[in-house]
């Protein structure tokens, strides 16, 4: 089966709500509607921008979707600073990033916490983009497949098959994030294929064939075409290059198979 590629622009802690409106307008203006038949495009702004993005997407009936960068495991309560699944669902979020390496590192998120968040997302009808990826020392020791597969299985614990099917996996080698050091397409394919094989083993081939597995780490318009040619790479989680409207548009068009608009 052929999976529709997904390009997700993770803005991280960049752009205020006014800049968010300008960037979404730029992407909407630059990427003609016909491309959306071949690629799903989503933007993942900071929480403070989401309401503005929602208003724009709904008002102008844009074909791109949007999501959030994190969510709390709980639905509500005394959790100062956190944002819950019901809040994000009300804002129309299609996706929520869970377990990004920056959250695992700076907020000490364990696989157990990540799993609670994945479950919280599904509980509220939001597709989690579950991030996995190894540190440089793990890769150098040859443990990258074992490491990422363990993160995957732990992150999906307790999910039903149809929830797994509606989960997006993002393989992001930590050594390739924001460093300009992109994994080769062969590196990306090796791990993405192994993750799909692990899904097939646990949930069956039919489920595994449906799951989109993205690559992330220094993805740009210059390398996206070769990455999406890989059998098991179904798009990208894009950081830096998603902040530039022209570059992101180009990248989405190339993921759709071109030509450039
Ligand atoms: O979520 C996105 C990734 O962390 C990749 O970021 P990057 O494209 O800036 O390397």
Q: Which of 103, 168, 173, 216 to mutate to test the pocket of ligand 1 (most atoms within 8 A of CB)?
A: 216
Q: What number does the ligand 1 atom closest to the CA of 12 have? A: 1
Q: Does the beta carbon of 217 lie inside 6 Å of ligand 1?
A: yes
**Which residue from 81, 108, 85 is spatially nearest to 96, judged by alpha carbons?**
85
**What are the boundaries of each domain within the chain?**
6-213+232-243
Which residue, by CA, sits nearest to atom 6 of ligand 1? 239
Confidence of residue 1 (pLDDT cuts 50, 70, 90): low
Global confidence as pTM: 0.97
Ligand 1 centroid to residue 216 C-alpha, Å: 6
Q: Kindly report, residue by residue over 122-169, the tens digit of the pLDDT.
A: 999 999 999 999 999 999 999 999 999 999 999 999 999 999 999 999
Q: Kindly report, residue by residue over 59-107, the tens digit of the pLDDT.
A: 999 999 999 999 999 999 999 999 999 999 999 999 999 999 999 999 9
Residue 34 DSSP class? G
Confidence of residue 181 (pLDDT cuts 50, 70, 90): confident
- Give the whole-angstrom CA distance, residue 170 versus residue 167: 10
CA-derived radius of gyration, the chain: 17
CATH topology of domain 6-213+232-243: TIM Barrel (3.20.20)
Q: Does the beta carbon of 245 lie inside 6 Å of ligand 1?
A: no
Q: Does the beta carbon of 238 lie inside 6 Å of ligand 1?
A: yes
Q: Does the beta carbon of 177 lie inside 6 Å of ligand 1?
A: yes
Query: Could you tell me if 201 and 164 are in contact, meaning their C-beta atoms sit under 8 angstroms apart?
Result: no
- Give the whole-angstrom CA distance, residue 57 versus residue 177: 29
Q: Is the pLDDT of residue 180 over 80?
A: no
- Give the whole-angstrom CA distance, residue 171 versus residue 213: 7
Q: What number does the ligand 1 atom closest to the CA of 170 have? A: 1
User: Tokens in use for 260?
Assistant: 């450039």
- Give the whole-angstrom CA distance, residue 56 versus residue 127: 21
């Amino acid at each position: 089966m052929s999976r529709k590629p997904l390009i997700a622009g993770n803005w991280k802690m960049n752009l205020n709500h006014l800049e968010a409106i300008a960037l979404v307008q730029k992407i909407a203006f630059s990427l003609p509607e016909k491309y959306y038949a071949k690629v799903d495009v989503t933007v993942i702004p900071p929480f403070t921008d989401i309401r503005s993005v929602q208003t724009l997407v709904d008002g102008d009936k844009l074909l791109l979707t949007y999501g959030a960068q994190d969510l709390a495991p709980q639905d509500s309560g005394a959790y100062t600073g956190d944002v819950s699944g019901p809040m994000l669902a009300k804002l129309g979020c299609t996706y929520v990033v869970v377990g990004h390496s920056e959250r695992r590192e700076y907020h000490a998120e364990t696989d157990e916490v990540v799993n609670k968040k994945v479950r919280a997302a599904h509980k509220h009808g939001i597709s989690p983009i579950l991030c996995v990826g190894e540190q440089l020392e793990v890769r150098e020791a040859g443990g990258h497949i074992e490491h990422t597969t363990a993160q995957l299985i732990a992150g999906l614990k307790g999910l039903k098959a149809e929830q797994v099917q509606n989960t997006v996996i993002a393989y992001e080698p930590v050594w390739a994030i924001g460093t300009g050091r992109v994994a080769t397409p062969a590196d990306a394919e090796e791990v993405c294929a192994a993750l799909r094989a692990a899904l097939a083993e646990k949930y069956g081939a039919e489920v595994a064939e449906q799951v989109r597995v993205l690559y992330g780490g220094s993805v740009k318009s210059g390398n996206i075409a070769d990455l999406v040619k890989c059998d098991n790479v179904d798009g990208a989680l894009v950081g830096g290059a998603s902040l530039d409207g022209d570059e992101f548009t180009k990248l989405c068009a190339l993921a759709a198979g071109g030509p450039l608009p």
